[in-house]
Structure 1
Amino acid sequence: MLEQYLRFKEDYPGSLLFFRMGDFYELFFEDAEIVARAVQIALTSRNPNDETPIPMCGMPHHAVEPYLSQLLEKGYKIAICDQVEDPKEAKGLVKRDVTRVLTPGTVVEDSNLKSKANNYLGSLYWDSKKGCGGVAWLDFSTGQWSGFSSKKEPELWQWLVKIDPSELLLPQGASVPPQYNELSGQVTPVAPAAYFDLSSSTNKVKEVQGTVDLDILDLGDKPELVRACGALLTYAENTQKSQLGHIGEFKPLNLGKHLLLDEVTERNLEIFKRLDGKSGTGTLWKVLDRTMTPMGGRLLEARLRQPWRDINPIQKNLECVRYLFDRDPLRADLRSALDSVYDLERLSTRIFLGRANPKDFISLRQSLRMLPRLHALLTNEDFTSAKELNSIAKKWDAMDDIASLLDSSLVDSPPPVITDGGLFKKGYDSQLDELIDLNEHGEDLLKKLHEKEVAANDIPKLKLGFNKVFGYYFEVSKAFKGQVPDHFIRRQTLVNSERYITPDLKELEDKIVSASEERKVLEYKLFQVLREQLSAVRSRFLFMADVIASLDYWQGLAEAARINEWCSPDVHDGMEIEIEAGRHPVVEDAMGRANYIPGDLKMDPQRRILLITGPNMAGKSTVLRQVAILTIMAQIGSFVPAKFARLGVADRVFSRVGASDNLAQGHSTFMVEMTETARILRQATKRSLVILDEIGRGTSTYDGLSLAWAVVEELSTRARGGIRTLFATHYHELTSLEGKIDGLRNLNIAVKEWKGDIVFLRRLVPGPADRSYGIEVAKLAGVPRGVVDRAREILAKLEEKSHDSRSKGAVERASQTLLPGFGAPPIEIKEELVEHPVITQLTELDVDGMTPIQALMLLNQWKDMIKG
């Protein structure tokens, strides 16, 4: 047996081998030590009296799921080695084989999955010679998969960070770039020739998709993406030991259809996780999620990761949300019915793969019972103002035939294990009915046979008995002097009685003894047939799963809007943003509606760049994030927290918020800040929305001010007229740019001084802030009074000297006296620059009308002019 174990362990060296032995799964050697420590079970040993006992641990096969879940959560891979022949029929060692390998990216059981989140297996292939690559991801539990190709390697890695795969396939030798190091723990290196080969990948994709041409899937000209897809399919096939017929149509990601949110923006805006890395309360997803089904929750996640850019789907979804928002009774009825709908996608996957237990079938039946009720709610409505709702009402599939099949077949409370029997109702199968009668009513049948013999034969005190040697028998007292019937066969003679059997009694006994086992075998076969019947209509389950997800998504957004008193936004193709009484939904959820002070904001061609000043804690960052979040909400078809909102569609939202470092990658706080700023300046377009918070604060005062100044100027000139930008800063020198940079306006968060303290009014008002109030904020934060008083003295002296116009070096000398190392010569910004003749000629140059020789001669002439 151990030799058999070690052979399988050699074939699966990277996996914990769960070895089936009777009613238990056992582990040996190092695997036993790992599992015992990881899941806190007793570590024993085989042959404990030997000099080298073998470490060993195990658990019952029917209770193994919780242990598997813990190990998968910790990142382990698990090879399940089952008995593949009946031990009763085995000659010698029972045959075993690895039936599947459990990995974090390929699990399908609910105990290993978050119901409202996708569980992705990712794959990335980069061809450095061609400068092109592809990334693909598959949710094996639902069969949904997607991906895209790009000539920008960072773009591929950014999307992997966004989707956060549980497992990531990379060719052996490839590594995760340092800036995306958070993915390192999910990497599974695989042999390039076996997994990323173009020819085999092409064949696998065609086979799974049932097509002869990759062009149908928009993959014909994307060989790197085909390789990434092939790796996913090969890995899934090798670990699951089954066909992949449940995998749906590959849908390449079209970046041009969606508002793009990079991983930095997702993190800074706390869409799915807070800045401390935790999910749940404090995230936008948590505030929005009022869905009742797992499918609706996953659709909300997908929409938040990929909001629409096209105004048409935005408007169609807003229509549906608005319709349900206006009808509280309908929405309440829908929520009640949806609450009883389970995960149709994952249930159908487990049934198709043969992994479903009886409980899954009952959950499926309960879900199907709700479909007619939901349809009845929709058919009573007039959806002329909500076309998408009208569409799903007309295409509805109540699946009555499948619901009736499940109703007539399965009992209400089946046992947890398929092979235990007791699954089917009486009346479903005539052969099974007979076995059920024998199994459950055998004693009654024996009594009836006994009564029949008593009535047919004049034998007083005829008894029915049983023992382990002879089984059931009739006992006749020796006091009976008559003749026993001819069909009575003597089996045992006792002092006072004779024991007999009859052909009918022996036949009934055989049936009763074998009925239990036969019933289990027959019920298992019937269950397999039922599973095949449901697998054949999986496409209908998936269609209704999509319909239910959409309906749940719309009602969830409507419910959130009604609870939080949000308004329907006016989404348009222009560039203007106008928000009246806007609120940050997550901050408001945390502090309560009564404690939140709403604010107004307007952006248009005359206000393309809003420069926001004000003290710390006044709410600058909240205002910035609020505008970005309202834009994202509107573009997923949601209402927004405002009294009125008119929002121009954005193609990308960029954020540079907060101060953080990445010491593991050797990046300081300032380096992270500059890296994020560089990405924004290189990738932002005219339709983008940029929010910047405290650019340049991680370096010296004049360095930081210069960088912030240059960034503002760049944003004002980019994309033929500037990029919509909200820029919060403490550099009050930048406020002088209003009137000098077209489209820049100063705003500030209002505060009021009262009795030596400051009161935050939380209002965004026109104009620059008069001062930073940093010392007052330090006092509020609890900085010792002596430090605060000394800071005021230093500030007074610095301000006094800085206003002394009689000495140009006053500020420098004062700062050197009071704050060593602070002083530096001020930057003089010339307001009027004389344009160089070369620049003048360049702007007037007709490039298309020049020959190469003329261009070279002109370049030489310009060179002489510049030297002169």
Structure 2
Amino acid sequence: MLEQYLRFKEENPGCLLFFRMGDFYELFFEDAETVARAVQITLTSRNPKDTNPIPMCGVPHHSVEPYLTQLLDKGFRIAICDQIEDPREAKGLVKRAVTRVLTPGTVVDDSNLRAKGNNFLGALFWDSARNAGGFAWIDFSTGQWSGLHGRREPELWQWVVKINPRELLLPQGRKVPPQFSELASQVTGVAPTTYFDPGVSARRLLEIQGVAGLDSLDLGDKPELVCACGALLAYLEHTQKCPLTHLGEFRPVNLGRHLLLDEVTERNLEIFRRLDGRPGKGTLWRVLDRTMTPMGGRLLESRLRQPWRELGPIGKSLDCVDFLFSRDQMRGELRHALDSVYDLERLSTRAVLGRAMPKDFVALRRSLPMLPKIRVLLEQGGPETPPDLKRLLGKWDDLTDLAELLESSFVDSPPPVITDGGLFRKGFDLVLDELIELHEHGEDRLAALHRRELEASAIPKLKLGFNKVFGYYFEISKAFKGQVPDHFVRRQTLVNSERYITPDLKELEERIISASEERKALEYRLFQELRERVARSRSRFLFMADIVANLDYWQGLAEAARVNDWSRPELHDDLDIEIEAGRHPVVEDAMGHSSYIPNDLRMDRDKRILLITGPNMAGKSTVLRQVAILMIMAQIGSFVPARRARLGLADRVFSRVGASDNLAQGHSTFMVEMTETARILRQATQRSLVILDEIGRGTSTYDGLSLAWAVVEELSTRARGGIRTLFATHYHELTALEGRVEGLRNLNIAVKEWKGDIVFLRRLVPGPADRSYGIEVARLAGVPRPVVDRAREILANLEEKSQDDHLKGAVERVSQTVLPGLVPGGDSVCDHARSEAPAAEHPVVSQLTALDLDGMTPIQALMLLNRWKEMVKE
């Protein structure tokens, strides 16, 4: 047995081997020590008295799933070695085989999966010679898969981070780039010649998809993506040991049809996870998710990752959401019916793979009766029913035949083990009914036979007994002097009695003894036949799963809109954005509707770049994120949190928000900031929406101001007219760009000083902020009063000195492209002024002499500087 164990262990390197022995899965040697430590079970020994005992541990086969789940969550790969012959019929050692290999990316059991989330297995292949690559991903539990081809390797890795596969296949020796080091724990290295071979990959793909050529799959000119797909198929064939007949049609991502959100934007906008990395409350997904089924939840996640960028599908989705939004009773009844629909995709997958258990069929039995109820409910919509909903109703399949089959088959609470019997209802199979009757009511039949013999033989004290040697028997006392019936056969003589058997008693005994095993065998065969029948209907299940997912998606968005008082957006092909009384849905969810102060915003050709100033904590970042999130919500076909929203379609949304570092990769806060900014400047188009928060704050004042200024100018000239940008900053010097940079307008978050305190009004108003109020915010945060007072003194001195320096520099003839405070060559304005003083007769000098410095603010000084600069040019 140990030789057999070691052979399977050698054939499956890198796996924990769960070795079936009777009713247990056993592990030995290093595997036993690893598992005992990982899941906290007792470590024993196969031969404890030996000098070198063999470590051993095990778990019951019927309760192995929780342990497998824990090990998979910890990143282990597990080979399941089962007995493939009946131990009672085996001659010598029971035959065993590895029936499947469990890995984090290939699990199909609910205990290892997130109901409303996908479980992706990914594969990435990069060909340096062709400077091209492909990334493919598959959810084995549903059969859905996709991928994309690219010419820039960093962009493919960005997609890997975005999709976040639970397991990523790479050619052995291939390392994850340092900037994506968080993926290292998900990597599985595989032999490139075996898994990524172009010819073998193409043959596998054509066979699985049932097509004659790669062009049918839009893969004819994407050999690298073919290799990535081939690696997925090879890995699944190796680990699952079964045909991959449940895989759906491979659909490459069409980047032209979707609004693109890179992984940085998803993180900064907290779409799926908060900035601290945790899911749940505080994310957009949590606010939007009112779905009732796993299929609807996964569709919502998919839409949020890839919103539409075409008016057609967006409009159709909005029509359906609007239809359900205005019908509260219908929506409520629909939600109640959908709540009883289980995961049709994954349940049918397990049936095809031969891994469906009785509880899975009970879940299907509870789900299918809901389909006709949902259909009847939606048919009440009448002529106002949207075309997309009518189309679904026209193709509806109630799956009535399968519902009736499942209703007549399984008991309400079947046992978890399919070989123990007790699965089926009476009436499902006549032969099974007979066996169940014998097994459960054999004693009654024996009693009936006993009564018949008593009546026929007239023996007054005829007894029915049983022992392990002779089985069932009739016992007649020796005091009986009458004639014993001829069909009674003597089997044993005792002191006071004789024991007999009859042909009928012997036959009934054999049937009762064998009924239990026959019942188990017949029920197992019937279960397999029923599972195969359900598997043959996989395409019907998937079709209805897709319909249910869309219905659930629409009603979920309608429910969220009704609960949160959202309105239908208007989308168009222009670039203008108009938002009236817009709100941030996540912040509002946390604060409450009554506490949130909405804001208006407009962007058009004359207001393409909005420069937003204001103190910390006033709400600049909230406004920035709010606009981006409203755009994303609208382009998934959802209502938005605004009184009115008219939005020009976006092809990409970029965000550069907050301060963070990545010290493990050697990236400072400023380096991360500049990396994200560089990506935006290189990839943004005229139709993109960019939100920038505090560019240049991670370096010195002049460096940061220079970079922020240059970034604004670049965004204003890119893409033939500028890129739609919301730019929040504390650099008040940038507010002087209004009127000098085409399409730039100043906005600020209003505050009010009241009795020495500041009050955040949370309102977005035109014009620049007068100052930053940073010291007041520090006081509100609890900084000790002496520190606050000293900071005010230092600020006053610095502002006075800064004002003098800027005024001296105003008389220099400097280029418009040079920032205030600098001249070509890097010399300070003051030094340059001493060497080349302006002519005494110039008008600027007389104005400078008469200037009241103590009565000026920094903003007034900058405006005066700008006016003088124009005078000096003349």
Q: Does residue 551 of structure 2 align to residue 576 of structure 1?
A: no
Which residue is 1:843 aligned to?
A: none
Change (3 A) 1:231 1:827: farther
Segment drifting more, 391-400 vs 100-109: 391-400
Cross-structure match for 2:700: 700
1:681 aligns with 2:681: yes
Change (3 A) 1:806 1:423: closer
Shift in Å at residue 785 of structure 1?
1.1
Corresponding residue for 2:600?
A: 600
Are residue 490 (structure 1) and residue 519 (structure 2) matched? no
Q: Could you tell me which amino acid in structure 1 is paired with residue 442 of structure 2?
A: G
| SS, match of residue 147 in structure 2 | strand
Distance 2:807 2:591 in 1: 50
- Residue in 2 aligned with 1:767? 767
Task: Give the whole-Å Cα distance in 1 for the aligned partners of 2:575 and 2:806.
Answer: 48
Q: Secondary structure at the match of 2:647?
A: strand
1:359 counterpart SS class: helix
Residues in 2 aligned to 1:825 and 1:278: alpha-carbon distance in whole angstroms: 48
> Structure 1, residues 185-242: CA drift from partner, whole Å, max 9, x if none?
1000000010000111111111111112111111111111110000000100100000
Change (3 A) 1:62 1:805: closer
Give yes or no for contact 1:319–1:385 (8 Å, CA) kept in 2.
no
1:802-857 alpha-carbon deviations (Å, 9 max, x no partner): 334798499xxxxxxxxxxxx9946999xxxxxxxxxxxxxxxxxxxxxxxxxxxx
Q: Which residue of 1 aligns with 2:656?
A: 656
CA pair 88-706 structure 1, distance change in 2 beyond 3 A: same
Post-superposition shift, 1:692?
0.2
Amino acid paired to 2:423? L
For 2:259, the equivalent position in structure 1 comes to: 259
SS of aligned partner of 2:228: helix
User: Residues of 2 paired with 1:779 and 1:596: CA distance?
Assistant: 24
What is the aligned partner in structure 2 of residue 277 from structure 1? 277
Q: What is aligned with 1:640? A: 640
- For 2:620, the equivalent position in structure 1 comes to 620
Q: Report the AA paired with residue 247 of structure 1.
A: L
Relative distance call for 1:439 and 1:780 in structure 2 (3 A) is same
**TM-score, reference length from structure 2:** 0.92
Matches of 2:61 and 2:125, distance apart in 1: 39
Who is 2:713 aligned against? 713
CA contact (8 A) 2:83 2:95 kept: yes
- CA distance in structure 2 between the partners assigned to 1:312 and 1:768 by the alignment: 40
Give the aligned partner of residue 532 of structure 1.
Answer: 532
The answer (yes or no) to whether the contact 1:383–1:389 under 8 Å persists in 2 is no
Distance (whole Å) between structure 1 residues aligned to residue 59 and residue 383 of structure 2: 56
In the TM superposition, what are the counterparts of 1:112-511 in structure 2 within 5 Å? 112-384=112-384, 386-511=386-511
Match of 1:848 in 2: none
Whole-Å Cα distance in 1 between the matches of residues 426 and 122 of structure 2? 47
Cα separation, 1, equivalents of 2:69 and 2:280: 21
| Equivalent residue letter for 1:572 | H
In 2, the alpha carbon distance for the partners of 1:411 and 1:802 equals 84
The sequence identity of aligned pairs, in percent, is 76
Q: Which amino acid aligns with 2:803?
A: H
Structure 2: gaps (5+ residues): 811-825, 833-874
Aligned partner letter, 1:146:
S
Matched, 1:798 2:798: yes
**Number of aligned residue pairs:** 817
Judging changes above 3 Å, is the alpha-carbon distance between structure 1 residues 194 and 613 closer, same or farther for their aligned structure 2 residues? same
Q: Work out the CA distance in 1 between the residues paired with 2:575 and 2:694.
A: 25
One-letter amino acid of the counterpart of residue 675, structure 1: T
Secondary structure at 1:261's aligned position in 2?
coil
Note the C-alpha offset of 1:380.
1.7
Take 1:809 and 1:742, find their aligned partners in 2: how far apart are those partners? 25
Q: Could you tell me which amino acid in structure 2 is paired with residue 363 of structure 1? A: A
Aligned partners of 1:662 and 1:546: how far apart in 2?
A: 41
- Residues 404-430 of structure 1: per-residue CA shift (max 9 Å, x gap): 111111111111111111111111111
Please tell me whether the aligned partners of residues 610 and 746 of structure 1 are also in contact (alpha carbons under 8 angstroms).
yes
Q: Does 1:739 align with 2:751?
A: no
What is the distance in 2 between the residues matched to 1:161 and 1:731? 33
Read off the aligned partner of 1:62 and give its amino acid letter: H
Number of the residue aligned with 1:86:
86
- Report if the CA contact (8 A) 1:655-1:691 is conserved: yes
Q: Would you identify which runs of 4 or more consecutive aligned residues in structure 1 move more than 6 Å?
A: 826-829
Matched, 1:2 2:27: no
Superposed displacement of residue 597, structure 1 = 0.7
Counterpart CA distance in 1 for 2:540 and 2:715 is 51
Q: Find the residue that maps to 2:419 and give its secondary structure.
A: helix
Aligned partners of 1:384 and 1:390 also within 8 Å = no
For the pair 1:95 / 2:65, whether they are aligned, the reply is: no
> How far apart are 1:386 and its partner, in Å?
1.3
Q: Give me the whole-angstrom Cα distance separating, in 2, the residues matched to 1:781 and 1:347.
A: 53
Contact 1:383 1:390 in 2 (8 A): no
Deviations 1:217-272 (A, max 9, x none): 11111111110000000100100000000001001110000000000000000000
Distance in 2 between the 1:824 and 1:148 partners? 51
Secondary structure of the residue that 1:606 maps to in structure 2?
A: helix
More moved, 380-389 vs 182-191: 380-389
Matched residue SS, 2:705 = helix
Cα pair 1:144 1:248 within 8 Å, conserved: yes
How far, CA to CA, are the matches of 2:169 and 2:547 in structure 1?
A: 32
Question: Deviation of residue 801 (structure 1)?
Answer: 2.8
SS of the aligned residue for 2:719 comes to helix
Query: Judging changes above 3 Å, is the alpha-carbon distance between structure 1 residues 179 and 805 closer, same or farther for their aligned structure 2 residues?
Result: closer
* Separation (CA, whole Å) in 2 of partners of 1:800 and 1:353: 77
DSSP 3-state at the match of 2:50: coil
Residues 558-579 of structure 1: CA distance to partner in whole angstroms, max 9, x if unpaired?
Answer: 0000000001001111111111
* Distance (whole Å) between structure 1 residues aligned to residue 359 and residue 827 of structure 2: 74
Residue 122 of structure 1 and its aligned partner are, at CA, apart by 0.1
- Letter aligned with residue 88 of structure 2: K
Shift of 1:383: 4.9
Counterpart contact for 1:265–1:656, Cα < 8 Å: yes
Q: 2-side partners of 1:749 and 1:692: how far apart?
A: 16
TM-score under structure 1 length normalisation: 0.93
Q: Which whole-Å deviations, capped at 9, do the CAs of 1:297-318 have from their partners, x for residues lacking one?
A: 0000000000000011000000
In the TM superposition, what are the counterparts of 1:787-866 in structure 2 within 5 Å?
787-804=787-804, 808=808, 825=828
Equivalent residue, structure 2, for 1:838:
none
Give the Cα–Cα distance (whole angstroms) in 2 for the partners of residues 650 and 270 of structure 1. Answer: 19
Secondary structure at the aligned position of 2:606 is classed as: coil
Distance of 1:337 and 1:826 partners within structure 2: 74
SS at match of 1:719: coil
RMSD, aligned α-carbons = 1.5
Change (3 A) 1:487 1:385: closer
Residues 383 and 344 of structure 1: is their aligned pair in 2 closer, same or farther, counting only changes over 3 Å?
A: farther
- Structure 1: gaps of 5 or more residues: 811-822, 830-868
> What SS is found at the alignment partner of 2:542?
helix
CA distance in 2, matches of 1:807, 1:80: 80
How far is 1:49 from its partner?
1.1
Distance in 2, Cα, partners of 1:341 & 1:806: 70
Corresponding letter in the other structure for 1:593: H
* Alignment partner, residue 15 of structure 2: 15
Counterpart in 1 of 2:850?
A: none
